[in-house]
Structure 1
Amino acid sequence: MTYQAIMFDIDGTLTNSHPAYAHVMAAVLQEYGKPFNDDLALKTFPMAAEQAMVTLGIDANDFDHFQARYEAVMAEHFDEIDLFPGIADLIKHLPADLKVGIVTSQRRNEMTGGMAKYPLMARMDTTITADDTPKRKPDPLPLLTALKNVHVQPSDALFIGDSLSDEQTAAAANVDFGLAVWGMDPNADHQQTKYRFNQPSEIAALFD
């Protein structure tokens, strides 16, 4: 299969951001008197912000304040977030004519703050965040919007992610899905995966 576009999730796929997420979320939830543990961290990590807040018991009237506090505290921890080993080389060696993009549940200011330091962002032909579409993953709209931006049909694209939400997004969009095993929840039951990539170099091998 020769793909014309490859789209990536960020958290757990490009970046090892789970430790920072768990630390920041615990701190913000403490301000609200809410509990947080490893199980909740794994459950909410791949969710869009609104879905995570509902799951964590945040009142809808507090969503804006909670999100603002989360983003403010996370901004203090961007330096703790690193690319997974091999990601920079993967992006660098993708074919020049391949359309490359990001589809994330992060807000745009969070993505910009956390990712701007990486040269690979200059390679992105499109980036879709939670601010760019009225629906979030696992709805297919964010992924389909990214593909529309680069003029590629779903049948000619590959989406790389680490979560069930990413897998469901790809399935709903009729896009092939590649599981980033290095960042996946080991307890997740993935059933609609075309590829299981144990390391980023295996993705590059598709385009050799």
Structure 2
Amino acid sequence: MYSTFIFDLDGTIIDSEMIGLSALQSTLKEQGIEKSLDELRFSLGIPGLTTLEVLNIADIPTTLETWMEKEKPLMRNVPIFEGMIDVVSQLPKTGIVTSQTIEEMNNSFYLLNIDHLFDSVVCASDTVKHKPHPEPLEKGIEQLGCSSHEAIFIGDSIYDMECAKSAGVDFGLALWGAKTIKGFQNADYILEHPKDILNLLHLNQ
């Protein structure tokens, strides 16, 4: 059924979301802005620049730099979700579509030495528009040389699902990252553990 498996990165491949949220919360606190982690969860799945625009931050460049600097030492050792490497290594064709910029990727993903497992990587620096717009996923599909019907996008955020639906791609919810099915009624699959992805592969047989 699926020849191509495309993944979000944060909260899907790597367990990084609390790192990003905590670093953002600390950055805002230095500016006198008090936000709970729950209040900042909307930022999961969209670029940092977009997050700061939503928060109406006055000095976005400086704030973004501070946020990234707080993240950097923690992201160097970001954990990979248990079982994920084994699962990805069994898939026929794989890609990543992430809202991280290339700078963020260099400080996290590319230090993990798992990039060889993926045939395509699309980050926020590669497109003009970002999730939930379909452009990043469409670019990934183009690079992977498949049709939208041959691919499935696996992610943990509403933005991931909206991106998939807009691109005409089936969506699998990474429940290990999302922690809830609320708001994901339109997901094609609810995946409780990374190993559940292999059940989608078996649909091909």
Partner of residue 24, structure 1:
23
Classify the secondary structure of the residue corresponding to 2:100.
Answer: coil
Shift of 1:124: 1.3
- 1:177 matched to 2:171? The reply is yes
Please report how far the alpha carbon of residue 45 of structure 1 lies from its aligned counterpart in structure 2 after TM superposition. Answer: 2.1
TM-fit CA distance, 1:53: 0.7
Q: TM-score with structure 2 length normalisation?
A: 0.92
Number of the residue aligned with 1:89: 86
Say yes or no: does 1:117 pair with 2:116: no
CA RMSD of aligned residues (A): 1.6
- What is the alpha-carbon distance in structure 2 between the residues aligned to residue 41 and residue 134 of structure 1? 24
**2:47 and 2:76 mapped to 1: Cα distance?**
22
1:202 is aligned with what amino acid?
D
More deviation, 13-22/36-45: 36-45
Shift of 1:90: 0.9
1:109: Cα distance to partner?
A: 1.3
The reply to whether residue 73 of structure 1 matches residue 70 of structure 2 is: yes
Question: How far off is 1:172 after superposition?
Answer: 0.1
Q: Deviations over 1:11-63 (max 9, x none)?
A: 1111111221122112211222211212223222222223211232312xx22
Instruction: State the SS of the aligned residue for 1:11.
Output: coil
> Distance between the aligned counterparts of 2:61 and 2:179, measured in 1?
28
> Unpaired segments of 5 or more residues in structure 2?
none
> What are the equivalent positions in structure 2 for 1:30-179 lying under 5 Å apart?
30-59=29-58, 62-94=59-91, 98-179=92-173
- Which TM-score applies when normalising by structure 1? 0.91
SS in 2 for 1:76: helix
- The letter of the residue matching 1:50 is L
Please tell me whether residue 10 in structure 1 is matched to residue 9 in structure 2: yes
Sequence identity (%): 30
Q: How much has 1:121 moved relative to structure 2? A: 1.1
1:185 Cα offset (Å): 4.8
Secondary structure in structure 2 of the residue aligned to 1:28: helix
State the distance in 2 between where 1:33 and 1:188 align.
32
Q: SS in structure 2 opposite 1:135? A: coil
CA distances 1:108-131 after superposition (whole Å, capped 9, x unpaired): 111121112333211211111111
Contact 1:29 1:35 in 2 (8 A): yes
